[in-house]
């Protein structure tokens, strides 16, 4: 009986300690990024590995630009398209998550996450693209770490610099150059709306820039941008 209790103790304690260590690692990284820019993310590294399997010398397109050198048009468009409550919530939109859960239940699998900008950043920085409730739980923990350590402006700055915008294209500056041959600072409202609409399926729209949906949805976001509150 004593051996069983000891075994049970270690079966519980070891995973718990590993879990705590992983969370501590995430927290230290996030705290460092409060005033240091991440050079890459888990998602960027994964995509580079995938692309280099076909082309070994492939390099991602990404260039960091500070918050004040990213057009307000793009900031407003991304908030309007991805997370219109960004400045008000504490990292999670529970109503959106409930709707996503109900949608997943109907489909019988995880097809929607209801993620905010902060949640998307959490996933990009540390996690895989796998869709599961376990990964969603970790995403929530990291999300609250980000919201605790960082101002909203910093969260949005990092997000806009690391989010995927096409095949090997990451961040606002690379996206502006790739699609419009301009800088992130000079994006027009229409260009910004178009980039914002691409975010859920960037690799698809990179190959289908003439998509009718892309045009129609861009027009909707363009109309909503005026109501987007910036941090």
pTM: 0.89
Classify domain 56-227 at the CATH superfamily level: Biosynthetic peptidoglycan transglycosylase-like (1.10.3810.10)
Please report the pLDDT score of residue 133 as a whole number: 76
**What number of other Cβ atoms are within 10 A of residue 95's Cβ?**
11
Please report the pLDDT score of residue 118 as a whole number: 96
Please report the pLDDT score of residue 2 as a whole number: 64
Domain boundaries, the chain: 56-227
Please report the pLDDT score of residue 103 as a whole number: 65
Q: Kindly report the three-state secondary structure assignment for every residue of 70-132.
A: CCHHHHHHHHHHHCCCCCCCCCCCHHHHHHHHHHHHHHCCCCCCCCCHHHHHHHHHHCCCCCC
Please report the pLDDT score of residue 111 as a whole number: 46
pLDDT per residue rounded down to tens, the chain (231 residues): 566 566 666 666 778 888 889 899 999 999 999 999 999 999 999 999 999 998 998 999 999 999 999 999 999 999 999 999 999 988 887 776 677 666 665 655 554 556 899 999 999 999 877 777 778 888 999 999 999 999 999 999 999 999 999 999 999 999 999 999 999 999 999 999 999 999 999 999 999 988 999 999 999 999 999 999 999
The whole-angstrom separation of Cα 146 and Cα 152 is 9
Please report the pLDDT score of residue 135 as a whole number: 80
Give the closest residue to 86 by CA, choosing from 160, 145, 153, 141.
Answer: 153
Please report the pLDDT score of residue 10 as a whole number: 66
């Amino acid at each position: 009986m004593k051996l069983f209790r000891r075994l049970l103790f270690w079966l519980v304690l070891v995973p718990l300690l590993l879990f705590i260590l992983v969370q501590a690692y995430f927290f230290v990284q996030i705290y460092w990024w409060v005033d240091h820019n991440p050079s890459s993310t888990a998602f960027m590294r994964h995509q580079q590995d995938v692309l280099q399997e076909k082309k070994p010398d492939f390099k991602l397109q990404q260039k960091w630009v500070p918050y004040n050198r990213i057009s307000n048009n793009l900031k407003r468009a991304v908030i309007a398209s991805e997370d219109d409550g960004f400045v008000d919530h504490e990292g999670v939109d529970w109503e959106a998550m409930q709707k996503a859960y109900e949608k997943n239940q109907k489909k019988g699998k995880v097809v929607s996450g209801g993620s905010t900008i902060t949640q998307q950043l959490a996933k990009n920085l540390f996690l895989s693209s796998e869709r599961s409730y376990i990964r969603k739980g970790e995403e929530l923990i990291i999300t609250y770490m980000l919201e605790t350590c960082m101002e909203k402006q910093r969260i949005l700055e990092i997000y806009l610099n690391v989010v995927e915008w096409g095949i090997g294209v990451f961040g606002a500056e690379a996206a502006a150059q790739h699609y419009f041959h301009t800088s992130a600072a000079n994006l027009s409202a229409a260009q910004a709306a178009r980039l914002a609409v691409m975010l859920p399926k960037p690799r698809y729209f990179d190959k289908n820039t003439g998509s009718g949906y892309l045009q129609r949805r861009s027009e909707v976001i363009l109309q909503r941008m005026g109501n987007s509150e910036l941090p």
